[in-house]
Amino acid sequence: MVEMKSTRDAYGDALLKLGENTDVVVLDADLSVSTQTNKFANKYPSRFIDVGCAEQNLIGVAAGLAIGGKIPYASTYAIFAMRAWEQIRNTLAHDNIPVKIAVSHAGLTNGPDGASHQALEDIALMRVVPGMSVIVPCDAVETDRAIISESARMGPAYIRLNRSKSPVIMPEDYEFRFGQAVLLKEGNDLAIIATGTMVHAALHASDLLKKENVAARVINIHTIKPLDERRIISAAQDTGAIVTVEEHSVIGGLGSAVAELLGEYCPVPMKKIGVRDVFGESGEYEQLLEKHGLTPDVIVQSAKEVLRRKQ
Amino acid sequence: MIPTDDIEFLKKKARTIRRHVVNMIFEAGSGHPGGSLSCVDIVTVLYFYQMRHSVMGSSADHDRFFLSKGHAAPTLYAALTECGYFPVEELCSLRKFGSLLQGHPDIHIPGVEASTGSLGQGLSIACGCALAARLDNRDCRIYTLLGDGECDEGQVWEAALFAAHYKLDNLTAIIDRNGLQIDGPTEKVLSLEPIAGKWREFGWHVIEIDGNQILEIINAFKEARHITWKPTVIIAHTLKGKGVSFMEWIASFHGKALNKDEMKIALEELGGA
């Protein structure tokens, strides 16, 4: 039986471990139950700072705490962090201030709440900011390791987490290496490059393809910025066909990052799977994934399409 | 009692800084002279009387200053150079390509605590810094200077709520109440009055002073140090363009450089060659 755990849950647990370091402070903008920062708040109340639903101030206060020597983790929903984009750019990133923005309910995972609460553009907005790192863990284990390892790395980061439970993929002894893609499955017919929740779907798709004698390489991009260019270029060289998958707009996210890179250094047939420049809507998470083609079946179809174009 | 010598020293220092500001903006050919001159006396008192700081780098119990109204960068730079943070020759490089002195305060400049210039952000940063100091039981004070027009920004009021809620009594905000913003008088663009009442209702200790009078500034900071369980805001009524007769209370000098003739007259008025 595969263990199921949401990445926000893993975030809350990781903060509890980090809390032993008295320099770690956690901020939230009135969503501590949803983001799971309430676990930290209960254990270390003096180092938990609720700013109320005021996201611009959230970023500024976190920056000030970092200037004062603290290691701040600032949380809200992904959609609302975008509200403080300019603060993130000018206050955090420009000065390379080590605030870790860990956002939950990214992508479509906030299903029933509808379009206003779903974040499908955040990777694009964060990726474009100089000096900003963008991390999208694929499961609870990777989240735990990423959150803990980020506490020791200089510079700001945007860490994208989800609301829904998802399968645990990574082994218990997994070690997170910032900026290094993870090869999850060998294969030389094509490469499926996925991030976050879509890594599991990519693995599933590769199993389906295997039954049809197609060997798909599966690569987990947990760090979208800085991108592991070497591993992506060699995947394009080795396989000659690429499919990218992400729970994000096809504009500006992982697919765009890969296309920008390969367009310059190794153009091969490629297909981007993601939300196709539309807003979300209310519905169960799985219904929304289905509607936007974020499923193993669609990955398989796309794989076949790039294989045809490759020949 | 504050020794008369101290007051005279600060007045002289303020005059020197005003001369730097006029020169720098003339050399740069662009900048914000009006709001730079209005806050000179406040910045002078902070750097030459009030704050514990050192050109050797900041330590745990040092005070910190964030210039939230970053367009007054020339004033900050002039104060920093007078303190010895960088050579005075740097001043003529303001706003020039490849120079140290960026158009708005930049973290890479010695003595600058955070890059600012996009309005509304300094108070939040100051709040975080004040909270960090309190968590560590450090005896230091955090200062930030805001423009009055800047108070149009919603983030200022988010931070105002925050500072009062967390009882940040080691935080002092100063508002350079010169009454003018880019598009004209603040009360015409977007009314701020009663500005003191607003801050008071937000839970702050409010002090109103003439922000171009050294002694009043010193006394306001002194009062702020003795306030507990509340942040303090000093509403400093100032004159935009203070010190240069033809610039005083003229909105168009918010973001316009002086020409050569204007510069000469300005320096004469400021007691220069």
Dist CA B23 CA A214 (whole Å): 72
Contacts of B158 in chain A (CB under 8 A): 51-52, 54, 56-57
Q: Is A86 a catalytic residue?
A: no
* Per-residue model confidence (pLDDT) at position B238: 97
Amino acid (one-letter) located at B103: G
> Which chain A residue has the Cα nearest residue B162?
A51
> Which chain B residue has the Cα nearest residue A58?
B124
- Best interface-test mutation with B: which of A25, A61, A65, A86 has the largest number of B CBs within 10 A? A61
Say if residue B79's pLDDT is above 80.
yes
SS3 category, A142 = helix
**At B253, is the pLDDT very low, low, confident or very high (cuts 50, 70, 90)?**
confident
CATH of region A4-167, choose from 3.40.50.970, 3.20.20.150, 2.40.50.140, 3.40.50.2300: 3.40.50.970
Instruction: Give the tens place of pLDDT for each residue, B235-252.
Output: 999 999 999 999 998 888
State whether CATH 3.40.50.920 applies to domain A182-310: yes
8 Å CB contact between B260 and B199: no
**Bridge partner residues of A159 (DSSP):** A102, A135
Average pLDDT over residues A33-62: 98
8 Å CB contact between A15 and A26: yes
Cβ separation of A60 and B124 shorter than 8 Å? yes
Backbone torsions φ then ψ of B161, nearest 5 degrees:
-60, -45
Instruction: Tell me if ipTM is over 0.90.
Output: yes
Other CB atoms within a 10 A radius of the CB of residue B53 amount to 21
Instruction: Give the tens place of pLDDT for each residue, B160-207.
Output: 999 999 999 999 999 999 999 999 999 999 999 999 999 999 999 999
* Per-residue model confidence (pLDDT) at position A257: 98
Beta-carbon contacts of residue B173 (< 8 Å; ≥ 6 apart): B123, B126, B143, B144, B145, B146, B163, B204, B231, B232, B233, B234
Look at the pTM and tell me if it is higher than 0.90: yes
| Helix ranges, B32-71 (H) | 33-38, 40-45
8 Å CB contact between A55 and B159: no
The edge-to-edge listing of strands for the beta sheet with A223-225 is A48-50, A24-28, A71-77, A100-104, A157-160, A133-135, A223-225
Structural domain spans, chain B: 4-269
* Per-residue model confidence (pLDDT) at position B224: 98
Average pLDDT over residues A35-61: 98
Structural domain spans, chain A: 4-167, 182-310
SS3 category, A74 = strand
Cβ separation of B135 and A87 shorter than 8 Å? no
**At B272, is the pLDDT very low, low, confident or very high (cuts 50, 70, 90)?**
low
C-alpha dihedral sign at A50, A55, A57, A58: positive
Asked if A234 is an interface residue toward chain B (Cβ–Cβ < 8 A), one would say no
Average pLDDT over residues A132-138: 98
- What is the CA A194 to chain-centroid distance, rounded? 10
Cβ separation of A64 and B131 shorter than 8 Å? yes
The closest CB to that of B128, out of A47, A64, A90, belongs to A64
Say if residue A276's pLDDT is above 70.
yes
CATH of region B4-269, choose from 3.90.470.10, 3.40.50.720, 3.40.50.970, 3.40.50.300: 3.40.50.970
Q: What percent of chain A has pLDDT over 70?
A: 100
Q: Which of A20, A55, A121, A229 is catalytic?
A: A55
Cβ separation of A63 and B115 shorter than 8 Å? no
8 Å CB contact between A25 and A65: yes
The closest CB to that of A61, out of B115, B118, B162, belongs to B162
Say if residue B104's pLDDT is above 50.
yes
Instruction: Give the tens place of pLDDT for each residue, A157-176.
Output: 999 999 999 999 999 999 99
Say if residue B273's pLDDT is above 80.
no
By CB atoms closer than 10 A (0-12, 13-18, 19+), residue B139 is exposed
Cβ separation of B127 and A60 shorter than 8 Å? yes
Average pLDDT over residues B122-144: 97
**At A42, is the pLDDT very low, low, confident or very high (cuts 50, 70, 90)?**
very high
Contacts of B168 in chain A (CB under 8 A): none
Cβ separation of A64 and B161 shorter than 8 Å? no
Cβ separation of A65 and B132 shorter than 8 Å? yes
Query: What's the mean per-residue pLDDT of chain B?
Result: 95
Say if residue B25's pLDDT is above 80.
yes
Say if residue A266's pLDDT is above 90.
yes
Contacts of A52 in chain B (CB under 8 A): 158, 161-162, 165
Instruction: Give the tens place of pLDDT for each residue, A205-218.
Output: 999 999 999 999 99
- Strands A216-220, A182-185: pairing is antiparallel
SS3 category, A167 = strand
Average pLDDT over residues B21-25: 95
